[in-house]
Amino acid sequence: MESLAKLFGSAARLKVLRLFMFNKDASFTPTDISVRTKLTKEVVRRELADLCTADLLRKKNTQAAARYQTNPRFEHLSALDTFIRETTAVQPQNMLKVLKRAGVLRLVVLSGLFTGTLDTQIDLLIVGDTLDERALANAVHSLEAELGREIRYASFATADFRYRLGVYDRLLRDVFDYPHRLLIDKIGF
């Protein structure tokens, strides 16, 4: 990410660009953007002003607050979209480092967004012992801020996972019947 941040001027600009490229149809308030990217409101305002000046974003004034959306008429939108999508990846080591804060991980599986299959129910499956759900949610939110896109995830205790696997749970079949990638496998799956 560091080389891309240098190319685009800053890590903040890259986070904002990813947010808008992965959510082209959505519009966001500066507060929404600040929360989703974990950037300060001042930094968000500066980046929004620059991206509006470049005509990549357009500003809609509503009665409640200004909202920003990707400009579909931006001349290089498809090229920028392709570039951002092909270069956006969270390194597995970084992902595991963040997720380990939530507890003892026994199985971590990437699917959906991380494998290019967008029709799955979840993007990330986490199985562990003594998982702290709040810490796990915070870890996933920090990954979302890096990616610029919401990550759908599910977490299970090891015993619950084994039971669901034994009864051919539909959610688990959705993960394991389609392309997936194991990051950690201490269960022997």
pLDDT by residue (tens digit) across 102-159?
A: 999 999 999 987 887 767 889 999 999 889 999 999 999 988 887 878 899 999 999 9
Query: What does the DSSP 8-state code read for residue 130?
Result: S
Whether pLDDT at 47 is above 90: yes
Closest alpha carbon to 179 in 108, 96, 105, 123: 123
- Asked if 96 and 74 sit in the same domain, the reply is no
Alpha carbon distance 189, 184 (integer Å):
10
- Asked if 59 and 35 sit in the same domain, the reply is yes
Query: What is the residue range of 172's domain?
Result: 92-185
Alpha carbon distance 44, 36 (integer Å):
11
Q: Cβ(122)–Cβ(152) under 8 Å?
A: yes
Residue 141 exposed, middle or buried by CB count within 10 Å (0-12, 13-18, 19+): middle
Closest alpha carbon to 30 in 2, 4, 10, 57: 57
Q: Cβ(60)–Cβ(23) under 8 Å?
A: no
Start-to-end CA distance of the chain, whole Å, equals 32
- Asked if 56 and 111 sit in the same domain, the reply is no
- pTM beyond cutoff 0.75: no
Whether pLDDT at 49 is above 70: yes
Number of domains in the chain: 2
Radius of gyration over every alpha carbon of the chain, rounded to an integer in angstroms: 18
* CATH number of the domain bearing residue 29: 1.10.10.10
Query: What does the DSSP 8-state code read for residue 188?
Result: -
- Asked if 161 and 106 sit in the same domain, the reply is yes
| Domain endpoint, select from 57, 87, 117 | 87
Return the pLDDT at 3: 59
Q: Looking up tokens 């951002």, which residue turns up?
A: 84
- Asked if 74 and 144 sit in the same domain, the reply is no
Return the pLDDT at 160: 95
Alpha carbon distance 6, 12 (integer Å):
11
Q: Which position has the higher pLDDT, 57 or 88?
A: 57
- Highest mean pLDDT out of 24-38, 54-68, 104-118, 141-155: 24-38
- Asked if 157 and 83 sit in the same domain, the reply is no
The crossing angle, in degrees rounded to 10, of helices 133-147 and 11-22 is 90
Q: Which position has the higher pLDDT, 77 or 114?
A: 77
Sign of CA dihedral 99, 101, 102, 103: positive
